[in-house]
Structure 1
Amino acid sequence: MRISTCQNCGQLLHFENSVCMRCGSSLGLIPETLELTALTNEDGAWRAMADNRLWRYCDNWALGACNWLVPADGETLYCPSCSLNRTIPDISNPAHAEQWRDIEVAKRRLVYALKRFGLPIPSRAEGAPNGLAFDFLADSDPSAPVLTGHDEGLITLNIAEADSAEREKRRVELGEPYRTLLGHMRHEIGHFYWDLLVRDGGRIDASRAVFGDESLDYQQALQTHYQNGAPDNWQESFISSYATMHPWEDFAETWTHYLHIVDTLDTAESFGVAIEPDVSDDPDTVVEVKFDPYRTRNFDKLIDAWLPLSVALNSLNRSMGQPDLYPFALTPPVIEKLRFIHQLIRGGKLAG
């Protein structure tokens, strides 16, 4: 994700910022350009220093849940991210309100990436058949917890996932090396784009050649996975143990990691990160990210940059006594699956 600077004072800004910490300028993100801009108040609206246009904040800004903008002269109340919400939790409950705000941050990061890729984002709210929509729900019956998942464009997320202690508990119970809100978002949107780009895009045979036959009974595969676990030596061909459960999950997990890789490389490029270990002359350990990961057609360039960067990131985490930032192995079969996702996204882009 690209970093920004305040147009008023030059302070480094981050994606979630709504106020510049140096000069106090209000900040908002312009959805058309994905640029974070300083704002000046003008006649009940906000003048953006980035484009000199008048904007209003998304209605969820007043709830502390959004920093995106909508045109001041339009009737739109919600930004392109918040407009995808179908159901939000009862935010009169302070705990639910806090969890919902964290979820919205992850969703905005997701929508940012989809827009950077130029992917279509058909919305159920705008009448698109099987369009994208989100339900953020809280458990009301302990015997029937809300299940996170995707169903024909509707993504449901249990807001308990926004509780770091609960999420860590589930991660340990399920034996997962990694579990985050953004990871959930990227995984479930992978199912949505399988429907949109593979099923509806005429690429089922190509997907089966890489991930296997998705027509296999999903519920039976799910039951088998939780009874028996992943097969032996699954690490040779899959990015995660959950990916072994069914071809749909293999696709969604691979999609998730492709987004992990691209967005992290984008951040590295924005910061001017270069890796050149003093103790090695191996060219495979050296990288300077000087390309736009969201725009490049060269898949090998992504992988050649990611492998040394992920080694460095893991080493930095260990120096802080933290687990590896990216505790996954990219074997040749996994890399070919990532290549499929890369080519699919490039082929699924909107014109221009």
Structure 2
Amino acid sequence: MDHASVVPSIAYHLLEQMTDGFSEDRELGRGTYGKVYLGLRANGEKIAVKMLHPILGLDDELFEKEYHNLEILQHQNVVRLVGYCNETRREYVPYNGKMVLGEVTHRALCFEYMQNGSLNDYLSDESSGHDWHTRYAIIKGISKGLKYLHEELEPPMFHLDLKPANVLLDENCVPKIGDFGLSRLIDERTRITTSSVGTIGYLPPEYINHHVISNKLDIFSLGVIIIKIMAGPMGYSKSAEISSQQFIELVHRNWRNRLHAASVNALESYCIQVKTCIEMGLTCVEVDRHKRPTIGNILNKLNEIETASQFPDALLKDPGSTKNQVRSLT
């Protein structure tokens, strides 16, 4: 990595200033590892400040290792780390009913701010809105980010908690994979783990039953996301209730009717993309992980259907504002 791009350390008192004392008004969200606040730098730049909860066993050496894992990530579809804090201060803390002077370590990871929040905020039934192009671009963007993690890093990185809440959207609705928790680089392609990963509903059977993790865990999670992008938040549940072929036909028919009603140009080209994506999503959630595609296979397929049927120029241009783009997902 170019040393000129090394992520800087940010003093804790500066983080306090940027977040207005970590006020509730600045809170963007919270998760297993900590709370996220909106930080405002002196130059007006907005950043997301993730203050980590004290985690048993997270010593300086482990934090530095995990920080460096995140520091190396440089891709347009992965949220960029812009700073960190790992500072121990002497502060008064409660102890046995009294306030005593002790050492407190404050750790934070700071990321680029994503104006449109998470994909989770905008998923809804596919029958509302008309913007297939935005949804397709989000599917492809997530796939490109995952390909970077799986096939362009050495060793590869497995996200292990891919879900709509961890896919963030910038001002142009470009998706970026974020919230790696305290992800680690994986030296082996497949292994058994005793630690907990992921979120129920996005975890494959081999992990639930045998705690096996591999690159195919992320592929399963991606499949669930694709299905929900195309068929709404309950889409994955629907897919389990009927045969794969019936589900493909249902989603394809719904989108065809929707695009036809919206008088979308190149209807057939878009319908090919719809059918390909829903078939791909179902393949990603195969019970047998060996039958799931690699992320390279997925992107190759997406590139093939684009080559076969290019988007018309008029639809590549946003006809409305960014807010309209976001509303079109809901």
| Pair in the same fold by TM > 0.5 | no
Structure having greater relative contact order (Cα 8 Å, sep ≥ 6): 2
After TM superposition, the score normalised by the length of structure 1 is: 0.28
Give the TM-score, by structure 2 length: 0.29
